Amino acid sequence: MTRFALTIEFDGSPFMGLQRQAHGPSVQQSVEEAAAAITGEDVRMHAAGRTDTGVHALAMRAHIDVAKDIEAFRLMEGLNARLRPDPIAITDCRAVAGDWHARFSCIGRAYVYRIVNRRAPLTLDRGKAWQVAKPLDHAAMHEAAQHLVGQHDFTTFRSVHCQAQSPEKSLDRLDVERAGDEIRIHAEARSFLHHQVRSMVGCLALVGMGRWTPGDVRSALEARDRKALGLNAPPDGLYFVKAVYPDE
């Protein structure tokens, strides 16, 4: 049995999320079915994180175990051929130690959230970014974001459906930058709560619109109450961009 580490890029628009769902298509289901077609085995995929409906990934990490004698490159080529026309690509595949685990060996995860700040309709970025027509003050958003960096109880920014045992997380980075009409929010932590990034982005957008102050974000955090959340950003602009492992 060989364990293969996969790097996966996908457009989340047509999927119910990364994790296999009973009520619709998922990235996991597509990859597992492709692997089964190649190997003739009941293959299960384990990923570094989960994503909601409509959330994308540039470099999600995952692993599968395969008994068939097959080279990593041939497996990757076969998976990509079988995955068509689904918007999923295996961009890297390599054999790893049997105790390497995409989820449990991961020591850091990074996301980026894209906002297109303009009045004109989206064309190329439709479904790939959140369009906000009202001008946003990205400097105020960045100032507000720094109130969330560090170890906190993030109950306010946690979905009611979150299955994490504790609402406490340590947020290592939350930076806001602008390039022309695009605002990007970079978030990094060991792990995140369900909807945490989208909830933080929604409140930062309220600051950018002038409806909240940076201090209001701190107050929402300190409330430790989901009812204090101002806005949950849509999934369109969220991308999983990196998983960090101690041996890489």
The two structure tokens encoding residue 177: 């930058």
Q: Residue 18 and residue 154: Cα distance in Å, rounded?
A: 23
Half-sphere exposure of 8 (CA within 13 A, CB side): 32
DSSP calls for 45-105: -EES---BTT-EEEEEEEEEEE-S---HHHHHHHHHHHHTTSSEEEEEEEEE-TT--TTTT
> Which residues are the active-site residues?
52
What residue type is 194 in one-letter code?
H
Q: Residue 95 and residue 185: Cα distance in Å, rounded?
A: 33
Contact at 8 Å (CB) between 206 and 136?
A: no
Q: Residue 82 and residue 139: Cα distance in Å, rounded?
A: 45
Contact at 8 Å (CB) between 55 and 129?
A: no
Cα separations in angstroms, 132 against 43, 70, 122, 135, 206: 42, 48, 10, 8, 11
Q: What is the pairing mode between strands 150-153 and 88-96?
A: unpaired
